[in-house]
Structure 1
């Protein structure tokens, strides 16, 4: 169990856990479990990135108080700086691995491993924000990036409850809607669209349904409301919204619980 206070003990545990995972993943009795494993690895890579930055910071912070093997302070400072540089370089490589792993998770999430019947992909609306709520989320995206925005918006996703509400409200699409001027980001089963100029942001979740149950969505394009109608439309589109904190409903956990075919 992690201590959250002892770096050496937690590093030992992480090493043993990875050894165990390397052994366990030699065989997958249920191939669909790969999606959950990739999701956990993605979270682990993000934590590893943070660890590398923190290790680099320690070397920089103490570079004037260490020596090299010859008890030379100047030499110790050089070694500490070099170690910090290498750690930062490793962290940048982790960023590349993270992006590749995230893409792999996206593709893996589109696989139906044991399709009993043909399925089709639909995107359900999770939340649509305008006005002050959208501005706060857009500021968050500006500060922390697209993934921070998706993680924040995912707290509005309550699995089957959100799915049912989207179908009842007709908030189901053949692709995640993108309107003129929108930007789009995708992580796992989530797609976020946002427009800082228009002042709106939306989150959609991929949903697979049997082809025989699929009803083609309307062809008429929906135009997002302007800021003047923010209050009414935001309330109508926020399905199953409850007050919640940042870490009450992580995006990956929601995907694991909501998918009925792959997981």
Structure 2
């Protein structure tokens, strides 16, 4: 603890604290701690500037009382003046260090540090339907409720395969896209958006990825354009529907592979 009255003791404590800080910063496992450390160092540098000026002034005020080792007053006075000059020069360099530390603190304050194991949430597109295909699902929602619609559309979710396809098509979003007039329904894993007026329905699944792997999702306008012009997923959905609209797509796919469909 500082004494505020004993300069030799406080100087020694400051030296020991800086030694400890030099040791502690050899490996910063939490990089977010750099910001408060820089802030405290900036305050320390400002205090150092004041200390250097006060030490220089002390040499000047008491130069009439000094001698050197041979009791030569002139030599002692010259040494006091030289020491004061060097201390003032050091204070000038401290000013430059303060300026750079202040700039570093500003830049560091703009950083959002992410732990290496942190995960972020994204939403991958499972299926997007429009026209007559969407109308059938909308009728199901109207009859049995949104939960039935989610359960039915989740049949088009093939796990990692669907996720990879969504990544390749840019159908990955920070939040499930909701457009004018859309209604939404959700459970723990899925969010469904649907619009009886425009006749479309879509299903999205929550997907967690490592923060360092996160990239900006493709713009919603581009994703919408791909949906409205027809994409590979739509072709796959239509092919699966050959087994019957309300037949689970997994069952239909198996029938097709075994030649059980007409």
Q: TM-score, normalised by structure 2?
A: 0.45
Q: TM-score, normalised by structure 1?
A: 0.45
Q: More relative contact order in 1 or in 2 (CA 8 Å, sep 6+)?
A: 1
Q: Which structure: larger Rg?
A: 2
More helix by share: 2
